[in-house]
Structure 1
């Protein structure tokens, strides 16, 4: 019973209406539903949940809303689940792909629009020039709805695309990827043999691994350890792990785990990283690990340009990779990293305040819950 949580409650005494209301207000928190490309096992997308837990979970009760569209015959119950939310935050990964006709129902579920929706830090996958009009139409129907209260993206290119093609009613803002705001677990780098980390993603052709194998073998000859890091868990990680067996490096270590923090620490312990994935690149960079990206998609090039290291993005089969390594990969410019972190943190604080203010102003009974000072644990 809720009264048992009220410190002044005594079954044998009477509380004044004022005292009871004051105590109850101290127990209330806004309910925030989080959704998007979450719960699929991709390391980067799952880190968004960690971000929300840290920055929103300090003052709100969070509920994961993914998979609300399944099964259809429980729709009434699912609708009720959305209706008790005070806000919905949709974000994580390349949600908007202009040329992929199949749009995940978790991305544009009309149920979300029953509540105020904040689209947070999404990306537009722009690796191909094509745009399917039906995709634009579906996203426009969702993003122009009056209950979409804010839209932000992880880079200027994504913000520009949405503004141009979707023309939402709210201003689209850009900031650093929200994973830049994630507090990272401490790591200790070994004083012994340095570690070359390699992060792979599913490769349709094993030839994409051949040059990486040669490079890894040369580092082992120089006394380095080589750590093959699988950037995924559950089904996503299993797929990458099985495909990664095509990366044949004698003596390599393989980090394949179900724990997100173990992947994070494994990245932070590296002395140098070769990465095919955006968020393993971001996490390593935030740790200060020099990183060369061997998957030159738009989102990775945009991030590396943001830290002034766009020259460190090449195809995994490009011979220039050898020259980059021979010349020495420059240190991470931590001043630029700090700016990215500040951008992401600033946005999350603004988002938090916006949701809190809306929640506070929605009902007179909740109007005075806001503490005098909101304390953030950075």
Structure 2
């Protein structure tokens, strides 16, 4: 007698069949059935989830079409990432704090696909830093089973000493979404990561918050080219370990001494409700209850008004701070000396590859208006870190420099 099995091996009749994600499609939630595998990641509902270790990965079931697939992964370094990282990374290190960079590597299907630098703004640090890595999968890389594997790894070893970053930088990073689509044209996003978002998306200016940026391989087999602009600014923040004096509100009270508005409001509201409940007399329950409700409603209104006043004062302090630092000079003294600095090799551009593979050299040319042009000797095969610096001693004789520091902005990133 011959038995015929109608289900694959290791599968039972109780297993739920999962439909693959059809292309084009997006993975936006950790509760999506297409997200079949997670390792060292906590699932979310409105987002995919957060990583809790390095390395970490997730697996998505995607329906292959026999054509190349473009994958665009969006992740975020927000305020909650700090708490998750502090709870799980207790090893002391030279770089810690809210403004410390996160340097992560992205792998998929066993291959390195790109890297990202995430830095929250030093002054307006309640804003999240967003990272994007975009890469293409060839038809043979997405098998008939359609399992797509996404890995995120913190770059803790093999990076140069000047590339400052916290250890286990992927811990706490939130995965927003992963977009899958068939390949159309060249990639336009994710080729450069500076750790900050452009303040004006129209001009595409990217500020180098850590003095270096990440360059990912492109689709074209030709040298890469970037144009950077140097500006003299007042020093912003000396370092992650520096303690700052508390901000002071207009009446002279330190803001840091204020209690937490939301927590304090909830506690005072509960105390007020308990006190109002004591006023209820059993003989006249209805009038007393109405009075208690009115008192609680009045207490809520007063607490809301007080919270708004405190939050507005705090926000105005942040606005004044953000407007005062960093403050660029009206006239850029570097515009007159940039050609001379580049000719004497005082403007340094260093390129270090991430992972195995040859990395090209770079050439630096001076441009009008305190700009430099950076051109590689060949195409990038692996992600690379690019650092820009000027010898401080060479600026001592430049009029108008004083104790200013140099801020670099990428103004053109296309090849």
**Which range, TM-score by smaller chain?**
under 0.3
Q: If you compute each CA radius of gyration, which structure gives the higher value, 1 or 2?
A: 2
Q: Say which structure is richer in strand.
A: 2
Q: Point out which structure has higher relative CO (alpha carbons under 8 A, 6+ apart).
A: 2
**TM (normalized to structure 1)?**
0.21
TM-score, with structure 2 as normaliser:
0.20
